Structure 1
Amino acid sequence: MLLYSFSKTGSSPMVLTLTFRVYSTILRLAHDTSLSSREFPASSLTRLGPTWMRPFGSIMLPKVADVCDCLATWKGDIIGGVDGHQLLERYLVKGNSKTADALSPQQLLKNCTEMAMDVSTLVFYHCDLGPTNLLVDVSTGSLGIIDWELAGYVPVDWVRTKFRLSAGMDFNHGMGEAKRDWRRRVAQRLEKMGYGDVVDAWWKFQDSK
């Protein structure tokens, strides 16, 4: 699990970066969510409820964008997992394709190219940074991130695009725009940091036969 801490005095945040070896070990254990719970006594951001979510959501929002930017410094050679095989990112698949190679690096490269993504720069990214995967320790302000089996190397354009598209990153309380506000604001933050998106091309890709 990646921990992200910030100072309540407003000084620069500290990111606990992981070496490739450490990350690989964590990836093998990622399915054991109880491990994360034991090591990091916190609640997912979405479970804090509206009262806690408002202050902590606003504080954590730029931190999540910063984490994306930090992870993006790690570059890859294929669109796939750190093991060189498939990436469990179904948003990069056309429709509900269940073919054996739908998530293979070769097929994902073909799909991303069709969506006019810049496939020359592949960055490390956690593909599901929704509130349920963000653990917040309200006593320290530390942020933990779980479900690393959903991480891998993607075109840099995908970092912001996923926040704009995925309803899975919505909060489970509120209505309409209020539920989507979290990912919308993270996407806006990433835009200010220089990240583009391919939302229109993604919809065109999904609508094509």
Structure 2
Amino acid sequence: MVVRRKGGKDHINQSFKQIDSSTWLIGSLMLSRSPDLSNNATWNDISDNSSYTLTVAPTFHDLTTSSPNSPFINLVHEAGDASAVWSIGNCAFCKVKYIEEGVTSESTTLDFVQAQNPSFDTPKVIYHAFGKDRSYLFLERLPGRTLDSAWPNLNETWRQYYVNAVVNTCKEMSEWAGNRLGGVDNRDVPEYFLQPQGADDFSTLQTTCEAIGMDCSKFVFYHADLGPSNIIVEEEPMLGKIGIIDFEISGYFPRSWIRTKFRLSSGMNLSASASNDPTWWRSEIQKALGANGFEDCAEAWMKWSAS
């Protein structure tokens, strides 16, 4: 089903509304900040001994609101008119996106991944609410910074270390098998790279994979968006621990899609501010995946895409 996106005051980046200096309206939710820690709060922010509480807003209200003007609420990411992310204090984020019918929710995927006891860190789901056309996902912030922001200060040894770490993560997740192409709850995954032109849902992705020539006899779990902005590393590299965020399009795919996606997606490039060779990251990843037996169907995908 095609999502009808809105503009103006209803644009996705206007989803946060400020009521006063410590209260905000987010869809049908109210978020309140207290300058003290509380056992009754939805979460505590120990960095400044504050707490945040989510409640359901009154059904009928006449609240005067404005755009957020607060040091505690900041818009940190926009994906056009499809989604937006706000930081809340120092230890939480709120991701607002349009609901896509029939698609596995990110919170469901995160719960699944965490149940596998992975070697990498993932953000804890604080709360997930669904409105008429948007979802509101509150997540704990992982400590550290994105690989993209750390990149300019990393030496060659650490850069190669993180390439190998992500390849090993792909191998680890590929051990989690599914019985169909889709999400972990047997719904669909919004992988636009595999969506045929003119399709208004994601129910035919396996047909695409078969047309490309991928082996669809089994399916393995894949994050599908492992660019440097979705990998969290230490502020200063010491132990080499990594975290992974943004599981929106993660699910079960043919194994060959793992390497192929790195070949195709410029969204997994390093940013221009991080490197003057933005494709280095995904180029090195896909080569390392090839050395580990992952197949590449990029040329077949390009022929299918052009047909």
Q: Equivalences for 1:42-81 in 2 at 5 Å?
A: 42-52=144-154, 54-81=156-183
The structure richer in helix per residue is 1
Report the Cα offset of residue 57 of structure 1: 2.3
Task: Say which is worse superposed, 138-147 or 156-165, in terms of deviation.
Answer: 138-147
2:151–2:159 Cα contact (<8 Å) kept? no
TM-score by length of 1: 0.77
Q: Does 1:116 align with 2:213?
A: yes
Q: Which of 100, 104, 107 is matched with 2:200 structurally?
A: 100
Give distance in 2, aligned partners of 1:55 and 1:172. 20
Which runs of no fewer than 5 residues in structure 2 stay unpaired? 1-112, 129-135
1:46–1:53 Cα contact (<8 Å) kept? no
Give distance in 2, aligned partners of 1:19 and 1:164. 30
1:46 counterpart SS class = helix
Which runs of no fewer than 5 residues in structure 1 stay unpaired? 1-16
1:87 counterpart SS class = coil
1:147 counterpart SS class = coil
Look up the match of 1:188: 287
Q: Which of 219, 225, 233 is matched with 1:136 structurally?
A: 233
TM-score by length of 2: 0.54
Give distance in 1, aligned partners of 2:207 and 2:169. 28
Report the Cα offset of residue 19 of structure 1: 2.6
**Measured at CA, do residues 129 and 202 of structure 1 come closer, stay the same or move farther in structure 2, by a change above 3 Å?**
same
Please say which structure displays the higher CA radius of gyration: 2
Look up the match of 2:299: 200
Q: Which of 110, 115, 120 is matched with 1:19 structurally?
A: 115
User: Once superposed, what is the RMSD of the aligned Cα atoms?
Assistant: 2.7
2:181–2:251 Cα contact (<8 Å) kept? yes
Report the Cα offset of residue 21 of structure 1: 9.9
**Measured at CA, do residues 34 and 75 of structure 1 come closer, stay the same or move farther in structure 2, by a change above 3 Å?**
closer
The percentage of counterpart residues that share the same residue type is 32
CA distances 1:146-173 after superposition (whole Å, capped 9, x unpaired): 0112210000110100111110110002
The structure richer in strand per residue is 2
**Measured at CA, do residues 20 and 143 of structure 1 come closer, stay the same or move farther in structure 2, by a change above 3 Å?**
closer
2:180 counterpart SS class = coil
Give distance in 2, aligned partners of 1:20 and 1:189. 24
Q: How many residues align?
A: 181
Give distance in 1, aligned partners of 2:269 and 2:281. 7
1:63 counterpart SS class = helix
Report the Cα offset of residue 100 of structure 1: 2.9
